[in-house]
Amino acid sequence: MDMNNYHTSVLLQEVIDNLDIKSGKKYIDATLGGGGHTREILKKGGDVLGIDVDGDAHIFVESENEKSSSLKGTLTRAVGNFERIDELAKANSYENVDGIVFDLGVSGHQFDTAERGFSFKSGPLDMRMSKALGVTAADLINGLTRNELVILFEKFGEEPFAKKIASAITGRRHIRLFHTTDDLADVIKRTVTHSGATHPATRVFQALRIAVNDEMNVLKSALPKALELLSSQGKIVVITFHSLEDRIVKRQFEEWQEKEFGKIITKKPITPTKEELQRNSRSRSAKLRVFEKK
């Protein structure tokens, strides 16, 4: 497992500034990833429960933290999906916390590791965040009907050429099934032309990843549980990377504010600076929203 450049945390300073870390207080990093957000909290003396369904993330963070002498807080790691944030928090005595962060992007490591199947590099058409999940992207591509693929690509990828791509996929399946990411990406590339730097298969890959990992339902389920875990004036900070997730977070925060559970801190989402965009092109679609509990 190549751990070099595992993951560059997006909007790192903005997350830390909004959490307003206090020494001795408890925080939850619901998406541990490369541990960038967690390390900054630990440096400021906060204690962290780091949750991640990906075992690779835990191995990396443990090894990185061992190298650092500037961590004042204590890290407790929990392997699991953040949909179970309430169970994992209670099991580790992390109730009444002062802040919770969700970074909903695919980690750089997951994206760059061909075997995980998140990128256009040649690798198995997998896309599972956890190997415990049963259905892979290949299962969906090879098993769904044309109409089901159209619905999937339109709903989770907002793909304008969904019908054309679905027809190309089902036509190719009669000759040979799909097994690799580059195989699928090549078929899409030959079928549609997208302008700009974005790969023409980006929206389809997004749709498959969301479906395989049930990401929309997991997010909808996790947010209310996270609110329950917060102490008064505790904050939820969420970084999203596409409009579907951002819409869910925005609506949930608005609903909470209407019910007087607290207040929205970010009237408009915080986006990366020009400097960050130059350092990390993957941050380009990131949006950060913050809610403070009453």
Q: For position 2, what pLDDT does the model report?
A: 40
Evaluate the CA torsion angle 173, 175, 177, 180 in order and state its sign.
negative
Percentage of the chain modeled with pLDDT above 70: 92
Name which residue leads in pLDDT, 24 or 114: 24
Q: For position 185, what pLDDT does the model report?
A: 94
Q: For position 83, what pLDDT does the model report?
A: 95
Helix, strand and coil in the chain, % to nearest 5: 50, 15, 35
Q: For position 3, what pLDDT does the model report?
A: 40
Q: How many CA atoms lie within 13 A of 106 on its CB side?
A: 22
CA distances from 212 to 127, 205, 207, 220, 229 (A): 7, 10, 9, 16, 28
- Min mean pLDDT across 62-66, 84-88, 150-154, 227-231 is at 62-66
Band of pLDDT at residue 284, cut at 50, 70 and 90: confident
Question: Which domains does the chain carry?
Answer: 12-109+215-293 (3.40.50.150), 120-212 (1.10.150.170)
Band of pLDDT at residue 132, cut at 50, 70 and 90: confident
State the Cα–Cα distance between residues 222 and 260, nearest whole angstrom.
19
Q: For position 195, what pLDDT does the model report?
A: 65
Q: Residue 136 in contact with residue 127, Cβ under 8 Å?
A: yes
Nearest-CA neighbor of 116 among 97, 101, 130, 96?
Answer: 130
* 27: helix, strand or coil: strand
Given a cut of 70, is residue 244 above it in pLDDT?
A: yes
Q: For position 119, what pLDDT does the model report?
A: 67
CA distances from 94 to 40, 75, 101, 195 (A): 19, 11, 14, 47
* Tokens, residue 74: 């204590």
- Min mean pLDDT across 196-210, 214-228, 242-256, 264-278 is at 196-210
In 10 A of CB 8, how many CB atoms? 16
Computed over every residue of the chain, the mean pLDDT equals 90
Band of pLDDT at residue 265, cut at 50, 70 and 90: very high
Q: Residue 31 in contact with residue 102, Cβ under 8 Å?
A: yes
* Tokens, residue 7: 């993951």
Residues facing 102 on adjacent strands: 238
Band of pLDDT at residue 293, cut at 50, 70 and 90: very high
pTM: 0.86
Name which residue leads in pLDDT, 92 or 196: 92
Mean pLDDT of the 96-100 span: 98
Q: For position 118, what pLDDT does the model report?
A: 54
Q: What is the tens place of the pLDDT at every residue in 37-79?
A: 999 999 999 999 999 988 878 888 887 777 777 899 999 999 9
Mean pLDDT of the 95-119 span: 70
CA distances from 123 to 118, 212, 267 (A): 9, 16, 41
Band of pLDDT at residue 192, cut at 50, 70 and 90: very high
Residue whose entry in the numeric block shows the structure tokens 């899409």? 188
Q: For position 114, what pLDDT does the model report?
A: 47
Band of pLDDT at residue 99, cut at 50, 70 and 90: very high
State the Cα–Cα distance between residues 157 and 26, nearest whole angstrom.
36
Band of pLDDT at residue 110, cut at 50, 70 and 90: very low
Q: Residue 83 in contact with residue 222, Cβ under 8 Å?
A: yes
